[in-house]
Amino acid sequence: MSASNFTIITQNSPNVSWLENALKRKGFSISVGDFNVFDPKSVNLLFYYSDIISREFLDSHSNINLLNLHNSLLPKYRGFHAFSWAIEMGEEELGYTLHRVAAEIDAGLIL
Protein backbone atom coordinates (compact mmCIF):
# COMPACT_ATOMS: atom_id res chain seq x y z
CA MET A 1 0.00 0.00 0.00
CA SER A 2 1.68 3.23 -1.08
CA ALA A 3 -0.54 5.99 0.25
CA SER A 4 0.95 8.79 2.32
CA ASN A 5 -2.30 9.96 3.89
CA PHE A 6 -4.67 8.29 6.31
CA THR A 7 -8.21 9.36 7.06
CA ILE A 8 -9.39 7.77 10.30
CA ILE A 9 -13.18 7.34 10.31
CA THR A 10 -14.74 6.87 13.74
CA GLN A 11 -18.06 6.93 15.55
CA ASN A 12 -18.87 8.47 18.91
CA SER A 13 -15.54 10.34 19.01
CA PRO A 14 -13.36 7.74 20.73
CA ASN A 15 -9.87 8.79 21.72
CA VAL A 16 -7.78 7.84 18.70
CA SER A 17 -4.77 9.99 19.59
CA TRP A 18 -2.58 6.92 20.15
CA LEU A 19 -3.35 5.69 16.62
CA GLU A 20 -2.86 9.18 15.16
CA ASN A 21 0.50 9.49 16.91
CA ALA A 22 1.66 6.04 15.77
CA LEU A 23 0.82 6.84 12.13
CA LYS A 24 2.40 10.31 12.36
CA ARG A 25 5.62 8.76 13.71
CA LYS A 26 5.68 6.67 10.53
CA GLY A 27 5.40 9.84 8.42
CA PHE A 28 1.73 9.71 7.44
CA SER A 29 -0.61 12.68 7.28
CA ILE A 30 -3.69 12.17 9.44
CA SER A 31 -7.20 13.56 9.49
CA VAL A 32 -9.96 12.30 11.75
CA GLY A 33 -13.64 12.50 10.95
CA ASP A 34 -16.89 10.69 10.44
CA PHE A 35 -18.30 8.69 7.53
CA ASN A 36 -18.62 11.80 5.33
CA VAL A 37 -14.87 12.44 5.05
CA PHE A 38 -13.83 9.65 2.66
CA ASP A 39 -10.90 10.71 0.52
CA PRO A 40 -10.08 8.72 -2.64
CA LYS A 41 -6.43 9.79 -2.32
CA SER A 42 -6.13 8.50 1.26
CA VAL A 43 -6.20 5.20 3.02
CA ASN A 44 -9.56 5.42 4.79
CA LEU A 45 -9.37 3.50 8.05
CA LEU A 46 -12.51 2.54 9.95
CA PHE A 47 -11.76 2.45 13.66
CA TYR A 48 -14.35 1.88 16.38
CA TYR A 49 -16.89 1.93 13.58
CA SER A 50 -19.93 -0.26 14.24
CA ASP A 51 -22.23 0.36 11.26
CA ILE A 52 -22.36 -2.18 8.46
CA ILE A 53 -21.11 -0.81 5.14
CA SER A 54 -23.57 -1.80 2.42
CA ARG A 55 -22.62 -3.60 -0.77
CA GLU A 56 -24.28 -0.73 -2.70
CA PHE A 57 -21.98 1.81 -1.04
CA LEU A 58 -18.89 -0.29 -1.73
CA ASP A 59 -19.91 -0.85 -5.36
CA SER A 60 -20.56 2.86 -5.94
CA HIS A 61 -17.32 3.94 -4.19
CA SER A 62 -14.90 1.41 -5.63
CA ASN A 63 -12.27 4.17 -5.94
CA ILE A 64 -12.00 4.45 -2.14
CA ASN A 65 -9.27 2.51 -0.35
CA LEU A 66 -11.29 1.40 2.71
CA LEU A 67 -9.74 -0.60 5.54
CA ASN A 68 -11.01 -1.67 8.94
CA LEU A 69 -9.00 -2.12 12.14
CA HIS A 70 -10.98 -4.92 13.79
CA ASN A 71 -10.72 -5.57 17.53
CA SER A 72 -9.91 -9.27 17.38
CA LEU A 73 -7.76 -11.73 15.51
CA LEU A 74 -9.78 -12.57 12.42
CA PRO A 75 -11.20 -14.77 11.08
CA LYS A 76 -12.08 -16.38 14.42
CA TYR A 77 -14.21 -13.66 16.03
CA ARG A 78 -16.22 -11.37 13.76
CA GLY A 79 -18.70 -8.65 14.63
CA PHE A 80 -19.07 -5.93 17.20
CA HIS A 81 -18.31 -7.81 20.46
CA ALA A 82 -15.45 -9.88 19.10
CA PHE A 83 -12.93 -8.88 21.77
CA SER A 84 -15.40 -9.72 24.55
CA TRP A 85 -16.11 -13.11 22.98
CA ALA A 86 -12.40 -13.87 22.73
CA ILE A 87 -11.99 -13.15 26.45
CA GLU A 88 -15.14 -15.12 27.30
CA MET A 89 -13.83 -18.12 25.35
CA GLY A 90 -10.52 -18.01 27.24
CA GLU A 91 -8.30 -17.04 24.32
CA GLU A 92 -4.69 -16.60 25.40
CA GLU A 93 -3.81 -14.32 22.50
CA LEU A 94 -5.74 -11.11 21.78
CA GLY A 95 -5.11 -8.45 19.16
CA TYR A 96 -6.33 -6.42 16.21
CA THR A 97 -6.66 -7.33 12.54
CA LEU A 98 -6.27 -4.91 9.64
CA HIS A 99 -8.40 -5.93 6.68
CA ARG A 100 -10.06 -4.54 3.58
CA VAL A 101 -13.75 -3.74 3.97
CA ALA A 102 -16.06 -6.13 2.12
CA ALA A 103 -19.83 -6.44 1.97
CA GLU A 104 -19.71 -9.41 4.35
CA ILE A 105 -19.03 -8.46 7.98
CA ASP A 106 -15.30 -8.60 8.84
CA ALA A 107 -14.64 -10.88 5.87
CA GLY A 108 -12.36 -8.74 3.69
CA LEU A 109 -8.80 -9.61 2.75
CA ILE A 110 -6.58 -9.65 5.86
CA LEU A 111 -3.50 -7.49 5.34
Catalytic residues: 70
The widest CA-to-CA distance across the chain, in whole angstroms, is: 41
First to last CA, the chain: 10
Cβ neighbour number for residue 88 with a 10 Å cutoff: 10
